[in-house]
Amino acid sequence: MTDPHWLDRTTYPWATRTVEVDDAVVHLVDEGTGPPLLLLHGNPTWSYEWRDVVARLRADFRCVAPDLPGLGLSTAGPGFGGSPAEHARVVADVVAALGLDAWTLVAHDWGVPIGLAAARRDPGRLAGLVVANSWAWPVDDDRHFTTFSRAMGGPVGRLGARHAHLVVRAMLPLGHRRRRLTRAEMHHYLAPLGTPDRRAVTSRFAAEIVRSTPFLADVARTLPAFADVPALLLWADRDIAFRETELARWRAELPHADLVRLPGAGHFVPSDAPADVADAVRAWHPAGRSSVHGAPS
């Protein structure tokens, strides 16, 4: 796979790797050695947002960060509709193709319900769960979410996404509160969406917040099966999407989860607070604690 002309390898220095599954060509970062972490992005980003987290964790973990089909450097197969259920099948196939075992899901936004749905294929292989500002249940009765879904996923949102990068230009700046994205960073989020069809994916994800209520209900029904999986909740308090309401639901669903708050951080947690995310994962994960404190004698 040849690098696109816009990709700056000084900020994203990982060797290119692709996996062909479900007629999709999935690009992924696969860096480091140790227990595997599957780092899943949401909408409208790609593995680029995990780059600083990967740089901090690759000494202790195998960091696998795929681009969902149609986003980043991945391409979707013919007939791929872009629903979360389809993305989950692709992610499950990637996990199987890479032979990941005892892996930990580290995700935010859509990455969490998609990753949990993928984990159901072989739940015994999921060793841990790190949730950063997300949800995994229906929200079609919550005006906070339905208003956004119908605006960004409706006719005006679809038109704006296809012809003006509406979702990226609106959400990325609003989702960073500790720092401001540089022009180069914004370019790396805009450039992969170089055609109207690829830009439409971002609006489709917004629409799916309501449209995929059956999928989210199915994921929610399986949450009790993950209640005993070691879990970490990373919660940014200046997120425009996810609130204390969603955090309270996670604490009820995962009663044994540890909680690390990220004061002042916004929605795009891996990009807005990468050092805090990496430090929290390392301090929580047994492999990370061993590397910090030394193996017991």
Catalytic residues: 109, 239, 267
Residue 95 neighbours by CB under 8 Å, 6+ apart: 38, 103, 118, 121, 122, 125
**What's the farthest any 2 CA atoms get from each other in the chain?**
63
- Dihedrals phi, psi of 167, to nearest 5 degrees: -65, -45
SS3 for 258? strand
- Give the span between the Cα atoms of 170 and 164, in whole angstroms: 10
Peptide bond into 44 cis (omega under 30): yes
- Dihedrals phi, psi of 132, to nearest 5 degrees: -120, 110
The DSSP result for 122-134, as a single string, is SGGGEEEEEEES-
Contact 192, 5 (CB under 8 A): no
Closest CA to 63 of 284, 281, 295, 291: 281
Q: In what order do the strands lie in the sheet with 36-40?
A: 17-21, 24-31, 62-66, 36-40, 103-108, 126-132, 231-236, 258-262
Angle at 9 between CA 6 and CA 15, to 5 degrees: 115
- Give the span between the Cα atoms of 140 and 146, in whole angstroms: 6
Contact 61, 32 (CB under 8 A): yes
